[in-house]
Amino acid sequence: MKILLAVLGLITAFAVVPIDTRPLGSYSHPTVDHAASVARFAAVTEAERDSTMLDARSTLFDHGVRTPRVVVLLHGFTNSPRQFRELGQQLFDRGYNVLVPRLPEHGLRAGDVAALKTLTAERYRDYADRAVDDARGLGDSIMVIGLS
């Protein structure tokens, strides 16, 4: 009984004590204009070319100019940008530029989910920083929507 109470106490403590996220501060390097954002996206897609399945690569729905709003769609864990293909197109049709960056280690041609074990909070922070930084030049106001 004492062991059970101790375990329940530990679970409760972990549930109520906030995790210190100060070491995960953002390191922002936003693009300054539309051309810079498009160039960064081109570099990302070039880097994904050999390792990532074609329909799982990062996606950009771009009007060719900076729009009043840009939407960043973050796909779910173990999924890929194809998850937002239809929604991205609908938002684009409504006048938004839309960026759907691929999560690290997702959509790989090798298809080995064991690669996901290399993901860390720092890699997710860097991914989120990069997504918002890349979107900065695509629109005046950034909206981020994600799953998972």
Report pLDDT digits (tens) over 65-81: 999 999 999 998 888 99
Residue 13 has a pLDDT of 66
Q: Are 18 and 122 in contact (CB under 8 A)?
A: no
* pTM above threshold 0.85: no
Residues with Cβ within 8 Å of residue 77, at least 6 apart in sequence = 103, 116, 148
Residue 92: DSSP 8-state = H
Rounded to 5°, the CA angle 95-56-134 comes to 50
Residues 101-138 pLDDT 10s: 999 888 888 877 787 888 888 988 999 999 999 999 99
* Residue 136 to residues 37, 94, 144, Cα–Cα distance (Å): 7, 19, 12
